[in-house]
Amino acid sequence: MDLGLLLDNLSNPALLFFVLGIIAVVLKSDLEIPSNSSKFISLYLLFSIGFKGGQELSHEILTAEIWWSMLFGIVLSAIIPFYTYFILRRRLSVADSGAIAAAYGSVSAVTFVTAASFLEAQQMVLHGHMVAIMALMESPAIIIGLLLISVFDKENPQIQKSIAIKHSFTNGSVMLILGSLVIGMLASDKQAEGIKPFTNDLFKGFLAIFLLDMGISSGKKLKYFFSFGWFPLLFALFVPLINGSLVAIASAMVSSDESNRFMFAILAASASYIAVPAAMKIAVPKSNPGLMLPMALAITFPINITIGFPLYYYFVQNTFG
């Protein structure tokens, strides 16, 4: 892995604003984001991710390989949170297990962008439909996470198992990202151009503020994170590497293109610190971002870009469909 690329991504402003939030708490600063503003930013990020994914999908000629690739991505984002939930549940609460499982079943846009830079360095091309697949993989993971919480949360008997699926699909966060994806597909380029300053140009700024807020929330809960000993750390280190390596091999079933297979490995290995925390902040407020965000952002993100990228690329190059 190129050291310059590693340092460039570790100095990403969004990541640094997350660190600033933690530092503010450590120094006992009164810095905080108003709760109403925080909720709006969460909804905006979900809307923007969904809409941009729909736009990318509208520009693709949908071949059989792309259809199979989309199905493969959706299945991945449903299976990963399902099995990881039961690993996490050995040590964590239902709410935290469901939220973290959803994060690891979902994807990290920043890791995805970093992986695109890695492909460019290898003189390989990132295909547009993979961006749409990234957006498609957000919702299934959130739905599975909410469904598992609804089914297994004994402290909320009012959420009946018979309505768990309906509750998951009609959750406002899930509906927003799915609805935005569909609207992005239906909108013409000219129509999308009218709101591009909002969906594209403002995204990184709102992301930085969102991560500042998440850093403040995480900083307040750091003692909670360390109270679980080595378990969260080991999970955040090894589960992504296992997921990415297995998918780098298994993706040969749906695509022979090495760049597509590498990006599938990245999508499986990365953990969401935008869409899922935003969704869980609204849907499951008792889940703890002080546990989820340090795992996804402070551990899994750097381990992917340092060890994961070359590992997944090796498996892609040495496995044939």
Model confidence pLDDT, tens digit, residues 262-300: 999 999 999 998 778 878 877 888 888 878 888 988 788
Half-sphere exposure of 146 (CA within 13 A, CB side): 29
Closest CA to 246 of 72, 67, 6, 64: 72
Residue 97 lies in a domain: yes
Residue listed under structure tokens 């760049």: 259
Residue 233 lies in a domain: yes
Q: What is the pLDDT of residue 267?
A: 96
pLDDT at 153 over 70: yes
For residue 283 the two structure tokens come to 């849907």
Residue 7 lies in a domain: no
Report d(CA 42, CA 289) in Å as an integer: 13
Q: How far is CA 224 from CA 92, 153, 217, 272, in A?
A: 11, 21, 11, 20
pLDDT at 167 over 50: yes
Instruction: Give the CATH number of the domain where residue 191 resides.
Output: 1.20.1530.20
Closest CA to 22 of 294, 303, 306: 294
Phi, psi (deg, nearest 5) at residue 140 = -55, -40
Residue 62 lies in a domain: yes
* pTM of the complete model: 0.78
> Which domain does 170 fall in, by range?
37-317
Residue 20 lies in a domain: no
Provide mean pLDDT across the span 139-152.
88
Q: Helix-strand-coil percent breakdown of the chain, rounded to 5?
A: 80, 0, 20
Structurally, the chain folds into a number of domains equal to: 1
Residue 16 lies in a domain: no
Residues contacting 251, CB < 8 A, separation 6+:
72, 260, 261, 264, 265, 316
Model confidence pLDDT, tens digit, residues 23-81: 999 898 999 888 888 888 888 888 888 888 888 888 878 889 999 999 999 999 999 99
Round the average pLDDT of the chain to a whole number and report it.
84
Residue 259 lies in a domain: yes
Query: What whole-number percentage of the chain has pLDDT above 70?
Result: 90
Report d(CA 104, CA 125) in Å as an integer: 26
Query: What whole-number percentage of the chain has pLDDT above 90?
Result: 30
Residue 120 lies in a domain: yes
